[in-house]
Structure 1
Amino acid sequence: MKEISDIVQAYQQAQKQGIQTALATVVLVEGSAYRRAGARMLITENGHLTGAISGGCLEGDALRKARLVMAQQQPMLVTYDTMDDDDAKLGVGLGCNGIIHILIEPINRQIPNNPMQLLGIALSKRQNAVLVTLFSLQNRKAAQPGTGLLLTADDTYSALADDSLRATLNTDAAEVLLNGQSVTKTYFADNEYIGFVEYLKPVIALVIIGAGNDAVPLTKMAGVLGWDVTVIDGRANYARAERFTVAKQIITARPHEVLNHLSLDKLTAIVMMTHNYNYELALLRQLLPLQPPYIGMLGPKKKLDRMLAELEEGGLAITAAHLQHVYGPVGLDIGSESPEEIALSIVAEVKAVLSGRKGYPLKQKAQAIHAPEIE
């Protein structure tokens, strides 16, 4: 959602200046490409680009086509075949070996639920959502419906002109919302369409317990990724805005007050790095029964083992389900020594865990990085 957030901000700025915009979306990839379906780029009439649809090889041509889209106010489906000799130069430098389909849509703010409004709605709610984009590979010169349906847990937003597919799309979107996996399907109405039914997750919420100097690089790295960062410490002279400029919240709280400031969900990661044993012990006692998806503990394993033993002696029943979500020592084993390297290992582990991945080298992955897209 970081890219979407940047795009929405750029769009809002362009609107204030009265500048025309177009949205380019990778809707389908066949074979290998630098970006997969769901990658986006906002293009302004004066050539400003926000986001990316490739590693840099497609952006220039997409800009030229986007200007035509803005002039004609009609969506355009563009295909780049980096396996074809004529298009192969587009993939030079990336090692691309695939076919990339990109939908470029003009943004008209007068149209309700236009693509940018739908993205803005999805961004404004900290909940999972599904965005549906329709396009036709069979008839590229026909009108491309484009980004037209957003489903959230509590509402549906549609800009589709044709109602014939809406019920089917709503059903498929609801299934994707339930399963948490994007799908690409074929639909038939007045034309044959491909539907990219995209699962959107909120950004990761990283709660850092501890406002020492080693927490600073962790907040900065999480900020680069667009995560929502909260820093909590019991020391007011440490938990200060000027020290943690990218943090969304900076809170001074005692251990028993911390949970009053948090709203935990499936994308919340908590990292304890106060270097205060009693503070972390008291907070761990409250967190374990809640089973947040990630609790990271800075320090040696024997420190965590001692904490768990004390909690059990104090009457807390600790199960394997509780320990499944506890990561101590925190971080991946990448040979970290400095605070910056430790921050890198923590961020990598949090991302891997919340994505359901193991965090091993991709060279060890037997199958393709991304599965085939069309069902």
Structure 2
Amino acid sequence: MKEIQDIVRAYGVACQQNKRTALATVVQVEGSAYRRPGARMLVTEDGELTGAISGGCLEGDALRKARLVMAQQKAMLVTYDTTDDDDSKLGVGLGCNGVIQILIEPIVAENPANPIALLSAVLSQRQQAVVVTLFSLQNRKGVQPGTCLLLPEKAEAQGNVQPAALQELLAQEAVQVLKNQKSVIRNYQLEDKVISAFVEYLHPPVSVVVLGAGNDIQPLVQMASILGWLVTVIDGRTNYAVKSRFPLANQVILAKPPQVLDLISVDGQTVFLLMTHNYNYDIAMLRQLIPLAVPYVGVLGPKKKLNQMLSELQEEGLAFTPDQMQKVYGPLGLDIGAETPEEIALSVISEIKAVLTNKPGTSLRHKPEAIHDRTTIDTPVRVTTPQPVSDAVA
């Protein structure tokens, strides 16, 4: 989501400067590649790049093709085959061993459903959404529909796909993508041609609520901001909860525990960190947070502290289910030998990321399978359109 935020911001600047732009999107990968489907890069006519579609290997060639797309105002599907031992044609030995399909689309500002407009709508609505990008591997030199449909979880669809029967099938697919929270690539048979659809799952950025505004929080706020996470810092001390101390935080709030939940929004992408170094403040917040449907509540300090707080809450008559306790992490963070505030921030951020993606947080060298899930190409789904009713009278 950080990449989309940067692209939308850069597009706004380009529009102010009357620059033409194009959007490059990785829509399909077979085998290994540095970036996966959904990676994007905005290109301006004078060569400014925002985002990335590779580790830097493909950007130069993509820039040249993007300028052609801007000049012709026609989307282009580009294939980079890095399985070839001799990939000198790209100017560098990639060594990725994959086939990468990249769609490059001109951005027409006058079109209210252009790709950037759809991505902007995703950012404006803090909810899950599906973005559909259509492309044709069968007819590369033909029309490439591109990013054309946004299906938010709790709002009306934006964009238009023809025929209507295809849009209906895509809407049905979007329901499953939202349920599984996983992007898919589907093929559809439209009469004599096959169209591919990258049905992309997008979730709101992570919202990190940090309870505590000590100096040791500052590196954590900086790292979370780099990731594009929304950061709220809350403390009950007037000389600590000051915006100037946390310039990268989205919000800095002065509040006592009973006020906190009334002052913030909480959803499935919200995580909480209890880092106040104040036992009474932490236990007061823990009492409120455990029942919430959030994926992560981290508690700074030794295991003994957390156990003591839980014992006190149980003595009050509070009973917590195993599922509720599963989301409580204390001591918080991954075991990387962290000592300094910066190292602790890295440990905590890494654990949150692992929890949200349901990963173990172990070294990739011990992973027997590929780092990323491999794309599977399914049998095309036939799209049937209503036949026109004849006006003839028998």
Report whether the alignment pairs 1:221 with 2:198.
no
Residue aligning to 1:62 = 62
- Structure-1 residue corresponding to 2:141: 141
2:373 corresponds to which residue? 371
Q: Alpha carbons of 1:86 and 1:164: their partners in 2 closer, same or farther (altered >3 Å)? A: farther
2:87 touches 2:93 (CA, 8 Å); kept in 1? no
Query: Contact conserved, 2:209 with 2:271, CA < 8 A, in 1?
Result: yes
Match of 1:287 in 2: 289
Change (3 A) 1:75 1:254: same
Q: In the TM superposition, what are the counterparts of 1:84-103 in structure 2 within 5 Å?
A: 84-87=84-87, 90=90, 92=92, 94-103=94-103
How many residues align? The count is 375
Q: For residue 108 of structure 2, give the secondary structure of its aligned residue in structure 1.
A: coil
After TM superposition, the structure 1 stretch with the greater mean CA deviation from structure 2, 93-102 or 289-298, is 93-102
Equivalent-residue separation in structure 1 for 2:55 and 2:335 (angstroms): 29
Whole-angstrom CA distance in 2 between matches of 1:107 and 1:161: 20
1:200 paired residue number = 202
2:271 corresponds, among 262, 269, 272, to: 269
- Aligned residue for 1:290, secondary structure, equals coil
The alpha-carbon deviation at position 318 of structure 1 amounts to: 2.4
Amino acid aligned to 1:47: G
Distance 1:31 1:364 in 2: 20
Identity %: 61
Q: Deviations over 1:302-347 (max 9, x none)?
A: 0000000011111111232221010000000000000000000000
One-letter code of the match for 1:99?
V
Find the aligned partners of 1:138 and 1:298 in 2 and give their Cα distance: 55
State the alpha-carbon separation in 2 of the partners of residues 116 and 3 from structure 1. 12
What residue in structure 1 maps to residue 303 of structure 2? 301
Question: Distance in 1 between the 2:66 and 2:163 partners?
Answer: 25
Distance in 2, Cα, partners of 1:95 & 1:334: 30
CA contact (8 A) 1:24 1:105 kept: yes
Tell me how large the CA RMSD over aligned residues is.
1.3
| 8 A Cα contact 2:334 2:350, kept in partner | yes
Equivalent residue number for residue 243 of structure 1: 245
Is the Cα–Cα contact under 8 Å of residues 26 and 102 in structure 2 kept in the other structure?
yes
Divergent runs of 4+, >2 A: 85-95, 159-164
The 3 A distance-change label for structure 1 pair 91 and 241 is: farther
Q: Which structure's CA Rg is the greater one?
A: 2
**Structure 2 SS opposite 1:19:** coil
Greater Cα shift, 108-117 or 87-96: 87-96
- Normalised by the length of structure 2, the TM-score is 0.93
Cα displacement (A) at 1:160? 2.9
Does the CA contact (< 8 Å) of 2:28 and 2:102 recur in 1? yes
Q: Which residue of 2 aligns with 1:345?
A: 347
Supply the distance in 2 between the matched residues of 1:217 and 1:125 (Cα, whole angstroms). Answer: 28
Letter matched to residue 105 of structure 2 = E
Is the 8 Å Cα contact of residues 82 and 90 (structure 1) preserved in structure 2?
no
- Range 139-148 or range 174-183, more displaced: 174-183
SS of residue in 1 equivalent to 2:121:
helix
Give the structure 2 partner of residue 177 of structure 1.
Answer: 178
CA offset digits 1:98-152 (Å, max 9, x no partner)? 1111000000011231111100001111100001111111110110011111100
Q: Please tell me whether the aligned partners of residues 77 and 144 of structure 2 are also in contact (alpha carbons under 8 angstroms).
A: yes
